[in-house]
């Protein structure tokens, strides 16, 4: 396991804060209130562990089939439905949405290989990530990848009530690779995929999925 680059400054800040709290805790409480001392010590340690685990990147590898759509995020499948996608395609698509809790790995990865033909950041609201309007009203980043057969997949990173920063790395017009780093959403949110209607879907609502490992489906 490694630590994602987006977490280095935050983890260092968390270490400093925890160190200050523990120093003050030792000075003022160690000799006069052991119950409170141990309580604050435990909370400080839990805070530091939670921050570190949020930015963890497990080592994962897999050989992908050419038409496989690989999962872009850790979390739980909360939506699988045919819907109208109105930002880029302006037609009907299969939407697959993955909700990421604060305990999930929050790095995001490309579901297919190809060319990044569209990328746009949208400022917006911070509705809870499972809200039906979060896909169109929340702060979000939209990306579209076209594979070498001309099939296109839209990936949308969505900020939630807790998440306050979306990071994304690709440049429009660049080549991207399936399973490679797409970006990061800090502190809980959601990723939507909009797939062609003839795509095969291998997951169902309620499934717990893992980025880079779970097969969402395949392109025909």
Instruction: Assess contact for 111 and 179: CB atoms under 8 A.
Output: no
User: What's the confidence (pLDDT) of residue 159?
Assistant: 83
pTM summary value: 0.85
pLDDT tens-digit map of 41-90? 999 999 999 888 888 888 898 999 999 999 999 999 999 999 999 999 99
Q: How far apart are CA 155 and CA 72, in angstroms?
A: 9
pLDDT tens-digit map of 104-119? 888 999 999 999 999 9
- Catalytic residue ranges: 189
- Look at domain 68-218 and name its CATH class: mainly beta
pLDDT tens-digit map of 135-167? 667 788 999 999 999 999 999 999 865 555 788
Q: How far apart are CA 24 and CA 161, in angstroms?
A: 32
In the chain, where are the structural domains located? 2-57, 68-218
% of the chain at pLDDT higher than 70: 91
Q: How far apart are CA 184 and CA 7, in angstroms?
A: 10
Q: How far apart are CA 125 and CA 140, in angstroms?
A: 9
User: What's the confidence (pLDDT) of residue 80?
Assistant: 97
- For residue 190, the 8-state DSSP code is E
Task: Give the burial class of 59: count Cβ atoms within 10 A of its Cβ; 0-12 exposed, 13-18 middle, 19 or more buried.
Answer: exposed
């Amino acid at each position: 396991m490694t630590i994602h680059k987006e977490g280095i400054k935050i983890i260092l800040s968390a270490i400093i804060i925890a160190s200050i709290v523990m120093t003050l805790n030792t000075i003022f409480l160690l000799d006069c209130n052991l119950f409170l001392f141990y309580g604050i010590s435990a909370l400080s340690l839990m805070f530091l562990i939670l921050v570190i685990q949020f930015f963890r990147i497990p080592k994962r590898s897999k050989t992908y089939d050419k038409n496989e759509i690989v999962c872009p995020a850790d979390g739980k499948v909360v939506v699988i439905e045919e819907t109208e996608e109105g930002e880029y395609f302006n037609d009907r698509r299969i939407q697959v949405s993955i909700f990421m809790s604060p305990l999930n790995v929050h790095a995001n990865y490309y579901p297919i290989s190809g060319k990044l033909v569209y990328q746009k950041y949208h400022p917006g609201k911070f509705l809870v990530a499972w809200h039906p309007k979060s896909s169109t009203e929340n702060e979000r980043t939209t990306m579209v990848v076209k594979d070498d057969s001309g099939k296109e997949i839209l990936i949308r990173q969505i900020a939630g009530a807790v998440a306050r920063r979306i990071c994304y790395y690709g440049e429009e017009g660049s080549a991207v690779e399936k399973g490679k780093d797409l970006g990061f959403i800090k502190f809980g949110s959601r990723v939507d995929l909009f797939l062609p209607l003839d795509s095969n879907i291998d997951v169902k609502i309620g499934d717990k999925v893992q980025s880079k490992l779970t097969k969402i489906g395949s392109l025909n």
